[in-house]
Structures are given as C-alpha cells and as structure tokens.
Amino acid sequence: MPYPYVLLSAAVSLDGYLDDTGPERLLLSSPADFDRVDEVRASVDAILVGAGTIRADNPRLLVNSPERRAARVAAGRPEYPLKVTVSGSGELDPDAKFWHTGGEKVLYTTEKGAERARGLGLAADVVALGPDLDWATLLTHLYEERGVRRLMVEGGGTIHTQLLRQGLADELQLVLAPLLVGDPAAPRLFGPGGYQGGRLRLLQTRRIEDVVLMRYEPTAPGTGRSVTAADRHWMRIACDLAALCPPSETAFSVGAVVVAADGTELARGHSREGDDPVVHAEEAALAKIDPADPRLAAATVYSSLEPCARRASRPAPCARLILDAGVRRVVTAWREPDTFVPGADGSGLLTGQGVDVVVLPEYEDRAKAPNRHLPALE
C-alpha cells in the first residue's frame, strides 16, 4: 500500500506538554520558528490536525508567506496545501476557521460521524472510512485519491501518538520550548502506552531563537512500506561503489545506481569518478543516461547517501538533477549528516515534489564505512 511521507510536527514545553489547560492556546514556539513551520507547510501537499485541535485552538493552518504561495503556484501546485482533519464523532463547529480559510478541505470520519457531519453543511469533502477510522486506509486514500505524497501532521497528541505507535510516521520535527507547564491535566505530545522501535534516530538539531528544533526518524519498522529483495541488492551495489571513491577530506564518498523498472541497470557512478574532482555519485550516473530515455520515469535511483539538497561546487544539487531527470523513486541508506551542509534535506526536497524516498537503515553502516575518516562522523 502506498502511503505519503508522514512528518509529525509539534512544539512542546520542557516537561513534554503541548498546551496548558487555559482557554487560550499556549504559545510555545518563537516567531522565527513559526516562519520555519510556514516553510515546512509550503513544502507539503497536505496538513492534518485532529478534531480536538480544531476545537481547542481554532487554527487556520495556512501558508502565510505570499512568496511561498506564489512559488507553489509557479510549480503547478495548489496555492495552499490540502487541509485534512479526523473525527470519530463528527461533532465539529461548521464556523471554525479551518473550513473557511485556505484551499481544499477533507474530513475523514466513521460512518456514524459522517451522518452527523453531513448534516452540518461543512465546507469540506466528508469521507467515511468505515465503522472505525483506520490510519492505513486514511493514508492510502490521501495518496491515491488526493495525490498527497508529503503529509505534515500538526497534532494534537492523540493523533501523533497513534501514528508513531503504528509505525506510520517517517519523521518527527519537535521544537522544545523553554517553559514549564506543570499541570498533569494538560495535553501531552505522546500518551502513555507501548511504543516499539526503541531509540529514535536523531537527524538534526538547530537552535532557533530560544527554542531548539530536533528532527528524528522513528526506527520502528514501518508497516506497508514496499521494500523488495531487489532494492537490497542494488543498495549493496551502491555501497560497494562508494568504496571506489578517491578519498577526500572535504566531501563524502557515495555510490549510486539507476535501475529501470524491469531491473535493467541504466547507469552507475561514484563520487569524484574519472577526472572530475567534485562530481557526485548520482550526478555521475545520471550523466551517462540519455535525458530522453523513457525508462527514467519508472526508474529508481539507489544512492548510498541521501541525495544532496544544496552544493557549492555545481549549480544544481543531486535532488534537483533527479527531479529534472523525471525519476520518481529514490532508495538510500543514510540520511545526510550535518558534516558539510547543515540542515540539508534532500529527502524533503524530493518528497515535496512527489518522489517516493525509501531509507534502508540496515545499510547505513556499509554506506558510512568509506567515510569513517571524516570529522564529526559518529
């Protein structure tokens, strides 16, 4: 079953609360972080919040920057991401701002909830998923019926807890705010109960005014993500290619293979191959393929390291080259660390444009092996 890339986003107090119990929404983040959230919103196809958040906060969930909206339109996307909410009860306020701002809206609910919601005349599509609300069905529906490839989930805790617990979250973007709520009746980010997968993988930390952004990747095995034996085969080859790179103190050693849907290898490459001291693996491989090759549209790029999102040595980063080549699937073993380009998010750039990015963490050690000499690599 195909699912969108699911990014959980939240701000919490030092003691792990999402809000206090007062009538007003507690402001946890800082102005610069609200702008970062605006940027993330602009990168996604859809934003989801639970009915509880609509009732508590009455949020609008817009992309506020006119420049970011204009860039979406210029790229052929809707001005605003699709707004999605979930409710079991169907008890929603039809006057809430959620329904009356931004672009299209959809409510996912149960059969019972749909009966009630349809009577409210909500300015939204109402989709009944059955007697209960099943997250896998919801995500598949968003992917297949609404074309959502990248989904941002903005709470509340009930929603975040279910998605993390069911292994359906691909990334957690958490902002830690320097204040204490201290009220056990306040809502928490993650509720009590069992979580699988142990420690999450820390991808990035960044100070933003007085808050800290942390990006994590859950390590619980995702359900329903399609990884084949062929994917593992080609990833091993990409890692072997990485070992062929001439050593460098200032760049990663990476291997990449481009493979057609029928399993035919179209090209391979590695960092600094041939006489080019700065060429990247994906770039080297793609350069060997005729850009008009019709097999590119259904091909997969296997790269031992996540494709770069920014680079100084060339006008276009590899994520852009992959998009320009029309490739829609990327498999990688290792998310780019902050060694050379802090905050690079090649996967975000790709998934934001609808490319399916699959990470195979079991090959991370092999991908890192030719890079062990680099500074700050754990």
Ligand X SMILES: NC(=O)c1ccc[n+]([C@@H]2O[C@H](COP(=O)([O-])OP(=O)(O)OC[C@H]3O[C@@H](n4cnc5c(N)ncnc54)[C@H](OP(=O)(O)O)[C@@H]3O)[C@@H](O)[C@H]2O)c1
Does residue 57 belong to the site contacting ligand X (CB under 6 A)?
Answer: yes
Tell which positions 22-41 bind ligand X, by CB under 6 A: 25, 28
How many residues line the site for ligand X (CB under 6 A)? Answer: 27
Cβ 54 to ligand X shortest distance, Å: 7
Q: Looking at 280, 328, 329, 366, which residue binds Zn ion (CB under 5 A)?
A: 280
Q: Which of the stretches 53-61, 225-233, 255-263, 336-344 binds ligand X when contact is defined by CB under 6 A? A: 53-61
Does residue 171 belong to the site contacting ligand X (CB under 6 A)?
Answer: no
Which of 89, 264 has the CB closer to ligand X? 89
Q: Which of the stretches 148-156, 208-216, 229-237, 316-324 binds ligand X when contact is defined by CB under 6 A? A: 148-156
Tell which positions 319-378 bind ligand X, by CB under 6 A: none
Q: Looking at 6, 7, 19, 200, which residue binds ligand X (CB under 6 A)?
A: 19
> What string of H, E and C letters represents the secondary structure of the chain?
CCCCEEEEEEEEECCCECCCCCCCCCCCCCHHHHHHHHHHHHHCCEEEEEHHHHHHHCCCCCCCCHHHHHHHHHCCCCCCCEEEEEECCCCCCCCCHHHHCCCCEEEEECHHHHHHHHCCCCCCEEEECCCCCCHHHHHHHHHHHHCCCEEEECCCHHHHHHHHHCCCCCEEEEEEECCCCCCCCCCECCCCCCCCCCCCEEEEEEEECCEEEEEEECCCCCCCCCCCHHHHHHHHHHHHHHCCCCCCCCCCCCEEEEECCCCCEEEEEECCCCCCCCCCHHHHHHCCCCCCCHHHHHCEEEEEECCCCCCCCCCCCHHHHHHHHCCCEEEEEECCCCCCCCCCCHHHHHHHCCCEEEECHHHHHHHHHHHCCCCCCC
Q: Looking at 49, 308, 323, 360, which residue binds Zn ion (CB under 5 A)?
A: 308
Which of 118, 314 has the CB closer to Zn ion? 314
Q: What is the binding site for ligand X (CB under 6 A)?
A: 10-11, 18-19, 25, 28, 49-53, 56-57, 86-89, 91, 133, 154-159, 162, 187
Q: What is the binding site for Zn ion (CB under 5 A)?
A: 280, 308, 318
